[in-house]
Chain A
Amino acid sequence: MMKCREVSGLVSTGDVETAPLRTRLGVWMHIAMCRHCRRFQRQLQRLRRRAKNAADEAAAEMPADLPERVLQQLPRE
């Protein structure tokens, strides 16, 4: 049985996605049974959503004419 430290570390580094099947199964089984690691995983998911929302708010400040200005200044020769 994998320990919380190992499971949450793999979740946080993003290494679960590319881990061998046996490790991924171990992580899934652990998370299914451990509410603390489930909460940690949910925290990271929320952090990702919040960070994306914050970045989208900043991106909304992009001047609407920027793509056009980019196109105008590019060399055509």
Chain B
Amino acid sequence: MSDARSIIDALRNRDETVLRRIVEANTRKLYRAARGMGHSSEEADDLVQDVFLTFMTSLDRFEGRSAVSTWLYGILLRKVQERRRQVTRERTHDPIDEAWEASFKADGTWLRQPVDAESALTGRQMGAAIRDCMAGLPGPARDVFVLRQIEELSAEEVRNVLDLTITHIGVLLHRARLRMRACLDGKGWRTTA
């Protein structure tokens, strides 16, 4: 993308105005994503600084094919995975898949019919419940959930960040949503009849 290329050229020339614009436009997004991926306030603060430091020292590797923000999310993801010490591999078989299949009759219609999910929880309680349930998601599913649902990246952008196939990203999003739904169901956000 030429926009991304011109930004990178400006940064290579140490254009302070462009640098400030990039930092101010992306700091909050990166901080929010880091918190969503399970890091404390202090860790997220540290991660964001680390991401920008890596970004500025790796400008030569940026080819301008994706947006600068996507490149920054990619750096964040690698740092988050490093801090997890090992990349948690998503299982090819996941028990949540069986729970999903058990939601349907043999003819493919709903057995456990969805209801309009409403909750007696207050906004603050719901926020805590959501964060609690997200904390229980396996690493890769959580990363996809944060990037697709909270940071609103397209599947194509997430593919660039995570180096996964579009199909795998879909499977991880599906599993994350089912786990979130099941977890919230146990916290007073009724989802099935």
Contact = CB atoms under 8 A, between A and B. Distances in A.
Contacts of A43: 114, 116-117, 181, 191
Nearest to B32: A59
B45 A66 contact: yes
Contact of A58 (B20, B36, B149): B36
A50 B31 CA distance: 18
Interface in B41-68: 41, 44-45, 48-49, 52-53, 56-57
How many chain B residues sit at the interface, stated as a range, is 35 or more
Interface residues of A, number: 43
Classify the secondary structure of A's interface with B: helix
B48 A14 contact: no
Given A4-B110, A36-B110, A58-B32, A73 B53 contact: yes
B123 A53 contact: yes
Interface string B9-44: 000001000011001100110011001100001001
Contacts of B126: 50, 53-54
Contact of B181 (A47, A57, A74, A75): A47
B28 to A, nearest CB: 6
B107 interface: yes
B27 to A, nearest CB: 5
A46 B117 contact: yes
B1 interface: no
A28 interface: no
Contact of B48 (A56, A70, A76): A70
